[in-house]
Chains A and B, each alone.
Chain A
């Protein structure tokens, strides 16, 4: 009997039964699979099947004998069936929009899980709802051919805590380094995916841009046993920069930015800090650990954005703006 068929038969049997089914009964019911050969081999086979069903979320458990019931295996129906989630049409539509857009982007880890989840949430609605049109472009780099595969591989490794071996390309050196990494998490920032994990080569936690991973292999030995623990104190957000001034290049520096004119009312969306009113516009204080990242961001906002303190930040702002001016006043060679 094919394994898929056997597992489905097992689910059907256990779901239908009003009482626990003993191991002896299972051996009898599935003679060719659990009833022939050595007992040890049959038990191992059943344990593998059980593990597969548990991974699919099927609540297969063994229960002790009660006053009126024998010991054995059960699948609790209430715990098995997907209940009505009770989503309103609006909730279903926006959730579906987000999920469908992530899937269509082609670069989302756990894409199979996401596809199944969407089917399940749409089950009681009688199929996919009318979802608002949402499109996502993830990747934000020219070469994304292998990105979906890498993301799914890394996500699988992270969730089972298996080490990965990867070849990592550095655009600075144009060299590829061979790394063994214990993946702690995946993060998406500004359209780019990063893997954060313990690098055995560098002996510390490092961040890797997934699109620079040239080859990837997940440790296949003892697949059911994790290779590592993630430190309890680890926080993914501390290793990936959401904003260009958050790369950790120097000690934190409080930088004052003044937004005037058209930018003043947009302060809250341009900076993740609460603005304070200034007679000239809106003022925000940004804790920068990459001053150049902040200054370049401010420059990109145009002349209505200015760095106004402290002195070293103001000087750097002037220095970079002067460099742009100089480069465009000379005839470029």
Chain B
């Protein structure tokens, strides 16, 4: 076993004893799942623990942990009644992950991070702050996500003004929120649109301020998982060609889907269902991307570029 594996194992075992002590009678599979390990590996760990105790190793000095009818119990935990405190590295990893949901002043995520900092041991706090400067995560969420996440947990209907990419018009929506997800730098909320009577996907950067209403809802037994935008079966495909300067980045992003053309160009096929998204995506390359088919998509990009050239309203 390597040093790193031994380190992880020790960490797991220092958690396992107090965990079973606090949750006696869980099945082997439940304990394995809680520890993020496999059943067989857990049984090996339990075997090792029966050898652990404190000198002088009298019978009562050993940890007494055992499996009975496929359930795990501990009778003597030898003072391993709670896990060790959070380490600086654990605190940093947790705080960085929390940052992904953009904690805001006064929200549940911010207060959770503040409470965690308070229970870090003094000697770990300095290292926590130093390590915190070395990991900087931002998912460009346009708003604090904790209130949305909280509404999902509490099954509360949310309301917001929404500018749909298809219409460009702002409308008030009431939504039963199911899932938040980020895809290619964009955050989305999937949920049941009450007025429209169906599941919809909302881009967070097109939502106005969120209102969490007192109205609750019964969540479906298994809320449907929204497809990633563009992942669904598109009814039409559009071919886009990229100039040599942009081609390397397209290869990176699309991998084998990017077809090599002559003179260092590449082309890809993308879903053509959302013309508004398509034209804006092509515009964002400033002339380095050209739609080559079908004709209606070429025309749409030309019209969008012409509209961008119009003078702003006076």
Contact = CB atoms under 8 A, between A and B. Distances in A.
Interface of A: 2-5, 7-9, 11-13, 15-16, 29-30, 52, 55-59, 77, 79-83, 85-95, 97-99, 101-103, 108-121, 123, 126-128, 130-137, 140-143, 155, 158-159, 171-172, 174, 184-191, 211-212, 230, 236-237, 240, 242, 258, 260-262, 265-266, 268-270, 280, 292, 295-297, 299-303, 306, 308, 317-318, 320-329, 332
Contacts of A324: 282-283, 285-287, 301-302, 305, 308
Given A12-B52, A332-B290, A116 B252 contact: no
A159 B134 contact: yes
Nearest to A186: B135
A185 B91 CA distance: 17
B150 A94 contact: yes
A318 B312 CA distance: 12
Contact of A30 (B55, B93, B306): B55
A143 B251 CA distance: 10
Contacts of B241: 332
A267 B307 CA distance: 20
A4 B13 contact: yes
B163 A266 contact: yes
Most central of A52, A110, A236, A328 by chain B CB within 10 Å: A328
Contacts of B112: 87, 91-92, 94-95
B284 interface: yes
Contact of A12 (B23, B53, B253, B308): B53
A252 B282 CA distance: 27
B107 to A, nearest CB: 8
B194 interface: no
Nearest to B52: A8
Contacts of A297: 284
Contact of A158 (B8, B134, B306): B134
B233 to A, nearest CB: 20
Contact of A185 (B19, B134, B282): B134
Nearest to B283: A299
B39 interface: no
Given A81-B82, A159-B89, A328-B302, A52 B10 contact: yes
A123 B19 contact: yes
B86 A303 contact: no
A83 B83 CA distance: 9
B136 A186 contact: yes
Nearest to B143: A269
B281 A56 contact: no
Contact of B108 (A90, A113, A327): A90
Interface in B115-141: 115-116, 119, 121, 123-124, 131, 133-140
Contact of A236 (B100, B136, B184): B136
Contacts of A325: 302, 305-306, 309
User: Which 4 A-B residue pairs are closest in the complex by CB-CB distance?
Assistant: A142-B255, A323-B287, A171-B248, A269-B142
A264 to B, nearest CB: 10
Contacts of A111: 93
Contact of B83 (A82, A269, A300): A82
Contacts of B170: 262, 265
A113 B87 contact: yes
Interface centre among A79, A97, A185 (most CB of B within 10 A): A97
B93 A114 contact: yes
A232 to B, nearest CB: 11
A219 B270 CA distance: 43
B6 interface: yes
Contact of B139 (A94, A171, A188, A308): A188
Interface in B281-314: 281-287, 290-292, 298-299, 301-302, 304-310, 312-314
Contacts of A261: 168
A87 B94 CA distance: 14
Contacts of B27: none
A158 B130 CA distance: 11
A102 B313 CA distance: 44
B286 A295 contact: yes
B79 A190 contact: no
A56 B7 contact: yes
A199 to B, nearest CB: 17
Given A56-B87, A120-B90, A324-B286, A141 B252 contact: yes
Contact of B305 (A174, A262, A321): A321
B94 A95 contact: yes
Nearest to B204: A269
Contacts of A230: 134
A88 B133 contact: no
Nearest to B116: A85
A86 B85 CA distance: 14
A133 B152 contact: yes
Contacts of B121: 57, 59, 79
Name, among B163, B169, B170, B305, the residue most crowded by chain A CB atoms within 10 Å (CB to CB).
Answer: B305
A301 B169 CA distance: 15
B185 interface: yes
Given A134-B101, A187-B136, A280-B313, A299 B286 contact: yes
